[in-house]
């Protein structure tokens, strides 16, 4: 069943968080790919002098993967913000985003105020999806 216009109660939540996810995902992908490029040869010596370890490479790959996932979440959130049939799927994507966020913070020990913001973002996404059920 589809809701159109102002009848979908969670459409604003999904629209706003979807736009934020698209922007954050694109920036994460671009930043990760730029870092991967900088870690390659002529810049490699600089990274080794700074004490870069294999964990940093994992962190860069993780940021690209999370960026792709955020881009996917944003596109689906905007596309299906008025569709009641996708509400449960979007809710599950929000749960997966929380797991990725908490897992990344735990594994890479990067708890900061911005991680609290990125923990609140999937919660708002899930609220929008839950309102559409």
Tell me if 1 is assigned to some domain.
no
According to the model, what pLDDT value does residue 60 have?
Answer: 83
According to the model, what pLDDT value does residue 58 have?
Answer: 80
Assess whether pLDDT exceeds 60 at residue 84: yes
Tell me if 43 is assigned to some domain.
yes
Structural domain count of the chain: 1
According to the model, what pLDDT value does residue 95 have?
Answer: 96
Tell me if 48 is assigned to some domain.
yes
Q: Is 131 left (phi over 0), alpha (psi -120 to 50) or beta?
A: alpha
Sign of CA pseudo-dihedral 52, 54, 58, 61: positive
Q: What is the pLDDT of residues 25-71, one digit of tens each?
A: 999 999 888 877 777 766 666 666 666 666 577 888 888 999 999 99
Mean pLDDT of 95-115: 81
Tell me if 56 is assigned to some domain.
yes
Tell me if 3 is assigned to some domain.
no
According to the model, what pLDDT value does residue 117 have?
Answer: 73
Tell me if 76 is assigned to some domain.
yes
Tell me if 31 is assigned to some domain.
yes
Tell me if 4 is assigned to some domain.
no
Structural domain boundaries enclosing 23: 9-131
């Amino acid at each position: 069943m589809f809701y159109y216009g102002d009848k979908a109660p969670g459409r604003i939540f999904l629209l706003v968080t979807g736009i934020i996810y698209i922007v954050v995902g694109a920036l994460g992908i671009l930043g990760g790919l730029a870092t991967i490029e900088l870690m390659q040869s002529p810049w490699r010596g600089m990274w080794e002098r700074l004490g870069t370890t294999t964990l940093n490479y994992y962190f860069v790959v993780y940021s690209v993967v999370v960026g792709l996932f955020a881009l996917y979440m944003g596109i689906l959130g905007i596309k299906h913000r008025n569709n009641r049939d996708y509400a449960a799927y979007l809710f599950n994507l929000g749960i997966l985003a929380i797991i990725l966020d908490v897992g990344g913070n735990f594994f890479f020990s990067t708890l900061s105020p911005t991680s609290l913001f990125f923990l609140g973002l999937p919660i708002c996404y899930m609220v929008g999806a839950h309102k559409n059920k």
